[in-house]
A and B are shown apart, each in its own frame.
Chain A
Amino acid sequence: MMYSVIIKRVITMRNYFSAFLTIILIVPLLLTQSFAVEIKNNKSKQEKIATPLTAAQLNTLLVKKFKQGKYSKKGADSCLKCHDSESDHNAMGIFNNVHGRRDVNKSPFADLQCESCHGPMGKHGSKVRKGKLREPMISFGKHSLVDADKQNSVCLSCHKDQQRMAWQGSSHQNEKIPCASCHQLHQGQDPVLFKQQQNKLCGSCHKEQLHAINKRSSHPLKWGQMSCSDCHNPHGSFAEHELKRPSINETCYQCHAEKRGPLLWEHAPVAEDCSVCHDVHGSINANLLKQRTPQLCQDCHSPADHPSTVSAGSEFVEKAQSAFTLGKNCMNCHSLIHGSNHPAGRTFQR
Chain B
Amino acid sequence: MNNSTYQSLLNRITLVTLLHFSVGALADGFSLKEANTKKIKKEKWVCKYCPAISNTTARITINLNNNSGDEGRFSSAIGDNKKGIGGNVDVDVDKREQDKHYRFLAKDLGKENVSATLLASKTDSYKASIAYEALNYFGHTFALTPFINAGNSSLQLPDNWQRVATTSEMPSDSFIHFSKQLERESWRLSFDKQITQNWQGYIHFKSENKQGIKTTSGNILNKVVMLPNGVDQQHQQFNMGSYYTFENATLSVSYYKSDFNNKRSSIRWQSPYSVLFGGAESGQLSTEPDNQFNQVSIFGHYRHNNFELQARFNYGQLSQKESFLPYSINPLLITNTLPTNNLNGEIKTLSNHIKIRYKTENKWRISLDSNLDDRKNNTQSNDYQRVFTDSVVLNSVAMNRPYSFKKTQVKLQSKYRFIEGSQLAFGWKFDQRERDFQDRNKTKNNKYWFKISTKFASLNSLSFELSRALRDGTAYNRTDQNTLINDALNLQKYYQADREREQARGQVSFNPFKNINTEALINTEVSFQAYFSRDQYRQTDIGLIESKRRGIDLSLTTPFNKHVSLLIYTHNQWQDNLSQGSYWFNEVDWHSDQEDKSDSAGISLMAEKLLDGKLSVAIDYTYSYAIGNVLLNTSLLTSITNNNELIINSQDIKVYADYIYSPDIKIHFGVLYQYFDEQDWRFDYTIDRVANVLGNGISAYNIDDYRITGGIAYQF
Contacts and interface: CB of A to CB of B under 8 A. Distances in A.
Contact of A211 (B45, B600, B690): B600
Contacts of B596: 284
A53 B419 CA distance: 14
A120 B32 CA distance: 11
A15 B647 CA distance: 16
B109 to A, nearest CB: 16
Contacts of B46: 74-75, 77
B53 to A, nearest CB: 6
Contacts of B377: 262
A341 to B, nearest CB: 5
Contacts of B648: 215-216, 284
Contacts of A152: 29
**Residue from B35, B48, B216, B594 whose CB has the most chain A CB atoms within 10 Å:** B35
A173 to B, nearest CB: 10
Given A261-B291, A262-B377, A309-B583, A80 B515 contact: no
B384 A95 contact: no
B482 A305 contact: yes
A47 interface: no
Interface residues of A, number: 163
B346 interface: yes
A6 B625 CA distance: 13
Contacts of A176: 423
B488 to A, nearest CB: 14
B542 A302 contact: yes
A344 interface: yes
Contacts of A305: 480-482
Contact of A266 (B226, B303, B346, B401): B401
Contact of B389 (A313, A325, A331, A349): A349
Given A273-B495, A284-B626, A70 B683 contact: no
Nearest to A340: B286
Contacts of A3: 644, 647, 679
Q: Which 9 A-B pairs have CB atoms at the shortest separation, nearest pair first? A: A153-B29, A69-B36, A75-B45, A262-B345, A258-B288, A342-B286, A80-B49, A257-B260, A157-B31
B681 to A, nearest CB: 5
Interface in B31-48: 31-42, 44-48
A194 to B, nearest CB: 10
Nearest to B620: A200
Nearest to B397: A346
Contacts of B310: 166, 168-169, 238
Contacts of B667: none
B322 A306 contact: no
A134 interface: no
B581 A310 contact: yes
Nearest to B674: A223
Given A165-B299, A284-B596, A298-B581, A346 B517 contact: no
A157 B581 contact: no
Contact of B260 (A149, A175, A258, A302): A258
Interface string B603-626: 000000000000000000011111
Nearest to A88: B562
A169 B367 contact: yes
Interface stretch (B4-12, B143-151, B565-573, B657-665): B565-573
B45 A153 contact: no
B273 to A, nearest CB: 13
Contacts of B639: 312-314
Contact of B683 (A62, A113, A327): A327
Interface string B624-636: 1110101011100
Contacts of A113: 45, 47
A268 B435 CA distance: 9
B599 to A, nearest CB: 7
B544 interface: yes
B599 A160 contact: no
Contact of A14 (B77, B355, B625): B625
A306 B482 CA distance: 7
A160 B51 CA distance: 29
Interface string B354-382: 01010000000001010101010101000
A143 B626 contact: no
Interface string B286-309: 101101010000010101000010
A231 interface: no
Interface residues of B, number: 211
B76 interface: yes
B247 to A, nearest CB: 12
Contact of B403 (A69, A266, A340): A266
Interface in A96-127: 98, 100-106, 109, 111-113, 116, 119-120
A321 interface: yes
B637 A312 contact: yes
Contact of A70 (B39, B226, B373, B480): B39
A156 interface: yes
**Dominant secondary structure at the A interface:** loop
B594 A291 contact: yes
Interface in A5-51: 6-7, 10, 14, 17, 21, 24-25, 28-29, 32, 35-36, 39-40, 43
Contacts of B177: none
Contacts of A268: 401, 403, 435, 437-438
Contact of B45 (A21, A74, A120, A264): A74
Contact of B36 (A14, A66, A286, A328): A66
Contact of B30 (A70, A80, A153): A153
Given A39-B516, A75-B44, A313-B640, A211 B27 contact: no
Given A215-B598, A335-B216, A29 B37 contact: no
A102 to B, nearest CB: 7
B203 to A, nearest CB: 12
Contact of B515 (A36, A73, A304): A36
Interface in A287-319: 290-292, 295, 298-307, 309-310, 312-314, 316-318
Interface stretch (B60-68, B83-91, B466-474, B549-557): B549-557
B272 to A, nearest CB: 15
B485 interface: yes
A264 B400 contact: yes
A138 interface: yes
A88 B217 CA distance: 62
B398 A346 contact: yes
B97 to A, nearest CB: 9
A232 interface: no
B645 A316 contact: yes
Contact of A210 (B123, B495, B571, B641): B571
B539 interface: no
Interface in B632-689: 632-634, 637, 639-641, 643-650, 677-683, 685, 689
A322 interface: yes
A132 B623 CA distance: 48
B405 interface: yes
B21 interface: no
A187 to B, nearest CB: 11
10 contacts: A69-B39, A147-B420, A210-B571, A264-B343, A300-B494, A313-B640, A323-B222, A332-B217, A333-B222, A343-B384
A95 B50 contact: yes
